[in-house]
Structure 1
Amino acid sequence: MQVIGLCRFSYVGHGGYKQEHASLEERRAYLYAPERLEERFRLFETVCLPSVIGQTDADFQLLVVVGECFPLPYLDRLLTLTEPLPNVVISVQPPGRHRRVMIQMLNDARENPDAPCLQFRLDDDDAMAVSFVERLKQAAQDLEPVWPRYPMTTIDFNRGYVYRASADGLAIKPDRYPYTALSMGVVVAGGSNQTIMHHGHHTLWRVTPTLTIPDGDMYLRGYNSFNDSRSKGRGKEINVTPVTPEEAHHLKQTFNVDSAAVARAFSSPGLLPLPVEGE
């Protein structure tokens, strides 16, 4: 079964972010501020991409979406990072309605629309467990008596960590949360043009059959100075603590994310100080 992942990397379009902007120009200035892009790249390089590279099942495609106005030096950096990875595709898209653009990309990526496929989402500052694709395929196989009868069926992994990156490495808090975007997937039935982007991830349980799998740490969810989830909701209340050596080993084994590598990346100059909690 074809597996397609979607990663939006500071794509400039209408909608798609909790933080609102009055115009595309204002959004572009915010997303492409050098200090923000530098932090996003350091997180992508040390957290997100290692989890992609470490997948125990590499038979999937990850679409990394950027805007056509993405600053050229950063686009070159992104292309250089992903060039050795045959299953990672950089897609440059013009501004549009965020959800419509992502839906079209996912449907265009399907090799055979009449065959079922698996789809998932991954933010550029988050990590998925190295077993994610393997477990997603296994869950789809377990659900085969169910999903052919529906346009789309949801598979939800609800256990992981919230993390923060700094020059000290990773700080984390164990987390359990249903239907978070980075630790779920959908089975799209053959002949259906539904996608994981047709509905908000928190509302998929309302419109699709779902299976929630509560075992195993399956996600690392970013909580950093420019993280979109800080702007609203539960993100403001999270207190993380520095990883112990045992926790650092567990994160390396589970996500292929190295706390020491994170510390080295964030020890380099070029980042603004992190904001004080509550600001």
Structure 2
Amino acid sequence: MVAPIVGICRFSFLGRGDWSAYLRTRPGSEEEAEAMRRSRDLLYDDARLRFRFQSFERLTLASLRAQTEPDFRFVVLSSAAMPRPWQERLRALCATVPQVRLVFSEAGDVGSALAPLLTGLAQGDGPAVQFRLDDDDCLCADYIAHLARAARAMRDYGPFAFSLPRALLVAHYAGAAPQYCEFVRPFHAAGAAARLSQPARSIFAFGHYVLMRRFPALVDHGPFGSLQLKFQGHDSRIVAPTPGSGVTAMAEADFRAQLARHFPFLDQADLAELMALQAGRD
């Protein structure tokens, strides 16, 4: 039997994590408190939430519904600090996918919020196999099937890590036209997975690129495993087709053909809507 498969999405979670806002701040320090105040203003800005809710519904949840292997669970972690109207909207969206469990946590960091959930999901076969997914990304329809196959293959290794490194990517920054790209880099964040030795420890305890150096790793270069949006305001460096980045520009027609082939559950008009919504925020 394969250990349970559990995906995790941090949806506007207010608390310490691997975000740039908390770099070089000590837990409990005034610098951390100030970073949290700034994060609260950013996370719960109405324009940002409108965009995030739309990408979560049209991309993330759509890809979960489309999975060919339905035997998985998906935790959506948010904060009790989220304004109540948005909480109710998030509850309604999450209720549309049977595998989703929504949690509004009072915890001040991701690890503490997830520990009791992950402990409860562990079975006799050991810790759950976890994967991470952001609320502006989605997975190919057979992602869970690939991950379950990897878990069976890596059963004798105990802890292991897994990646589908090929992705389609749309980059759209203020003042520039959208760029359509192929992104190839093992253990990018979308769909990075691991089975850890401690049941209560979450995949977010490790930087996603570190996973392949810390654990035996299986990398499958076959499918396009994810579709990722890199729009103005995302919490990482600007993404562009540059040498060594793993990002290669694609003609829009080629991009859309691959999107239709590997992500047939998506309405391509949704990408245009998301870009228009993001442009309205700038």
TM-score, scaled relative to structure 1: 0.82
Where in structure 2 are the equivalents of 1:1-279 lying within 5 Å? 1=2, 2-20=4-22, 22-110=34-122, 112=123, 114-144=125-155, 146-147=156-157, 150=158, 152-164=159-171, 171-188=179-196, 193-229=200-236, 232=237, 234=239, 243-244=252-253, 247-255=255-263, 256-264=265-273, 267=276, 271-273=280-282
- Deviation (angstroms), 1:113: 5.4
The secondary structure found in structure 2 opposite 1:51 is: helix
Q: In structure 1, give the amino acid aligned to 2:7.
A: G
- Deviation (angstroms), 1:29: 0.7
Q: Structure 1 residues 165, 115: closer, same or farther in 2, change over 3 A?
A: same
Instruction: Give the RMSD, CA atoms, in angstroms.
Output: 2.9
Q: In structure 2, give the amino acid aligned to 1:139.
A: A
The secondary structure found in structure 2 opposite 1:23 is: helix
- Deviation (angstroms), 1:171: 4.9
- Deviation (angstroms), 1:266: 5.2
Q: In structure 2, give the amino acid aligned to 1:243.
A: E
Q: Is the 8 A contact 2:161 2:193 kept in 1?
A: yes
Q: In structure 2, give the amino acid aligned to 1:173.
A: C
Q: Structure 1 residues 138, 188: closer, same or farther in 2, change over 3 A?
A: same
Structure 2 unmatched runs, 5+: 23-31
In structure 1, how many angstroms separate the alpha carbons of the residues matched to 2:268 and 2:129? 31
TM-score, scaled relative to structure 2: 0.81
In structure 1, how many angstroms separate the alpha carbons of the residues matched to 2:232 and 2:98? 31
Q: Structure 1 residues 170, 128: closer, same or farther in 2, change over 3 A?
A: farther
Q: Structure 1 residues 124, 242: closer, same or farther in 2, change over 3 A?
A: farther
- Which residue of 2 is the match for residue 276 of structure 1? none
Q: Structure 1 residues 235, 65: closer, same or farther in 2, change over 3 A?
A: farther
Give percent identity, aligned residues only. 24
In structure 2, how many angstroms separate the alpha carbons of the residues matched to 1:234 and 1:164? 7
In structure 1, how many angstroms separate the alpha carbons of the residues matched to 2:83 and 2:251? 34
The Cα offsets for residues 175-205 of structure 1, whole Å up to 9 and x where unpaired, read as: 101211223212346x755442332211112
Q: Is the 8 A contact 1:223 1:235 kept in 2?
A: no
The secondary structure found in structure 2 opposite 1:197 is: helix
In structure 2, how many angstroms separate the alpha carbons of the residues matched to 1:267 and 1:181? 25
Q: Structure 1 residues 71, 249: closer, same or farther in 2, change over 3 A?
A: farther
